[in-house]
Chain A
Amino acid sequence: MLKHPLSSAMNAMKEWKKMSRSFFARCALVLAFLCYFLVNAPEKSSAMHIMEGYLPFGWALFWWLLFLPFFLFGLRAIQRLVRSNPEAKLMLGLAGAFAFVLSALKIPSVTGSSSHPTGTGLGAVLFGPQVMTVLGSLVLVFQALLLAHGGLSTLGANAFSMAVVGPFVAFSVYRLATRLGGGAKLAVFLAAALADLTTYLITSLQLALAFPAEVGGVAASFAKFGGIFALTQVPLAISEGLLTVLVWNWLITYNRAELETITMLRRGA
């Protein structure tokens, strides 16, 4: 009678070993999935990205130069993370996948037009903003190259709003909210929603700077573009907050240990 539970435990151990050996196979699978649906992102799903050629050359260059250092820091942050905690790769894939799914959700809004969330808040809260700069930029690169959505010339500007400012806002809001004594769930909600909204405000600002109105200048343009982008985005930002809390709940329930390890590493870095 004693033998049976023991041998089943041995089997479980064997399974466990096999699983960790196939860890790289799993990573490869996740990567393959990532690439596949990166390639298959839709043409005009998103309403946020500034279209190819729609920023004057000077501004396009300006945003590119502003964005590049953040990208390089992001690459280093990912390298550090993966080296110190190889298990985190799967959760990294999850954060990337979340951003891709959310950029595929074209949701109707109260203004009568549609837009989509950004999905960068989750990864920023999990891994810190720099890591999300890289993942967010990857979404934009593939959409620009293969789907005529956004563009290469405007990539610097789009990446700066979605992959730099958004994640940094998410991260700061999360930290501030938890320090002020808000619960983790409320903090995650606020972080994701505000990151989403800020991204679109920056897009509006970028367009306003490049195309100031004849009467009223940049401020009037900003009001115009803000009315198009940011207003549409308000209910979507709330949706993004809710969906981010949903995934956060799952992670807390099923993988609290790894969540805590990653958060600790991030604090150390």
Chain B
Amino acid sequence: MKKNNMMLNLGLLMGVVMLAVVPLLIVNDSEFGGSDGLAEEAVGELAPDYKPWMEPLFEPPGTETESLLFAVQAALGAGVIGYAIGLYRGRAAAKREQTDEHPV
């Protein structure tokens, strides 16, 4: 990969990390819960009589299991992306090698 492209990619990753870390530093008294919980409360305020008419069919037990599943999801997703990109990279390298050995 060209060097300036690599620098750009590093910069992109830095940007993402910054965007996640800065809120942690500037907002102090918060647990950073999901905003869907807040929406649930908002519905309760707007329509106090509203009762959800359907329950989830299945719920995973506990937060420990949830965080395990969460880590597994991220790891496997990244694995698939890494696999595909790695394959493309290897193919590109193999093709380059071939044309180097047999210049047309």
Shortest B96–chain A CB gap in Å is 11
Q: A41-B73, A54-B43, A112-B30 are in contact. Are A12 and B98 (CB under 8 A)?
A: yes
Q: A90-B84, A108-B20, A229-B39 are in contact. Are A47 and B76 (CB under 8 A)?
A: no
Interface residues of A in 134-189 (CB under 8 A from B): 144-148, 151-153
Instruction: For the complex, give the distance between the alpha carbons of A109 and B32 in Å.
Output: 8
Query: Is A225 a contact of B42 with CB atoms below 8 Å?
Result: yes
Query: Is B32 a contact of A97 with CB atoms below 8 Å?
Result: no
Is the CB of B16 closer than 8 A to any CB of chain A?
Answer: yes
Q: A9-B98, A250-B85 are in contact. Are A40 and B52 (CB under 8 A)?
A: no
What size tier do the contact residues of chain B reach?
35 or more
Q: A37-B73, A232-B35, A254-B92 are in contact. Are A107 and B50 (CB under 8 A)?
A: no
Q: Is the interface of A mostly helix, strand, loop or mixed?
A: helix
Is the CB of B104 closer than 8 A to any CB of chain A?
Answer: no
Instruction: For the complex, give the distance between the alpha carbons of A145 and B22 in Å.
Output: 34
Interface residues of B in 55-98 (CB under 8 A from A): 55-60, 66-67, 69-70, 72-81, 83-85, 87-89, 91-92, 94, 97-98
Interface residues of A in 26-76 (CB under 8 A from B): 26, 29-30, 33-34, 36-37, 40-54, 56-57
**Residues of A close to B89: CB separation below 8 A:** 254
29 A-B pairs with C-beta separation under 8 A: A5-B101, A15-B94, A37-B72, A41-B69, A44-B34, A45-B70, A51-B39, A56-B53, A90-B84, A90-B87, A100-B77, A101-B77, A104-B70, A104-B77, A108-B20, A112-B23, A112-B27, A115-B35, A152-B54, A229-B39, A235-B22, A236-B19, A239-B20, A247-B81, A249-B5, A249-B8, A253-B92, A255-B91, A258-B88
Interface residues of B (CB under 8 A from A): 1-2, 5, 8-9, 12-13, 15-16, 19-20, 22-24, 26-27, 29-30, 32-40, 42-43, 46-47, 50, 52-60, 66-67, 69-70, 72-81, 83-85, 87-89, 91-92, 94, 97-98, 101-102
